Amino acid sequence: MTPDDLRALLERLTQGPVVPTGVVRHVYLWHGDLDALAALVPAALRQPLDLHALAQRLPRTPYALDEAQRLLRAEIEGELQRQKEQAPSQVLIVSGCGLLARYHVPLQPFHAFASDRRVVILAVSRQDSEFAPTVSLPEFIHLDQTATLTALRVAVGEQNVVQG
């Protein structure tokens, strides 16, 4: 999908419901400049969701991977329910998506949230996916800058990836 395809879809959404094509709901992965994405989405529909801010609201600090996954997913589901009640039509721009990949949080809550009136865009900036440390790292540290992008690309499907 191109940025122009996404823009056209979002413009149609301002007019009314847009039925998703194929079997995939309106869950997209934006890889590029986050300001360009914000400019692409009509202001009346734009709703931000920062997963880092959401994680700060967790009731306790998780100690295990599965506990972190469970707590983060529950907080995401609660926030998505609140978003549903705010407006019937919206475009949810999700930042901080590294947490989804790091803690293996499934995208099912986002797929359940998406509809013919609601679009979810998972945003991964190029700064994150192309990060290069300024100092050399010790040999025992493996840095995979593309891990988040790769995991989300597989989860949403290649046809729903937008290179911005």
Q: Across residues 140-162, what is the average pLDDT?
A: 87
Q: Round to whole Å and give the CA distance between 93 and 33.
A: 13
**Threshold 0.75, pTM exceeds:** yes
Band of the pLDDT at 19, cuts 50, 70, 90? Answer: confident
Domains of the chain as residue ranges with CATH? 3-163 (3.40.50)
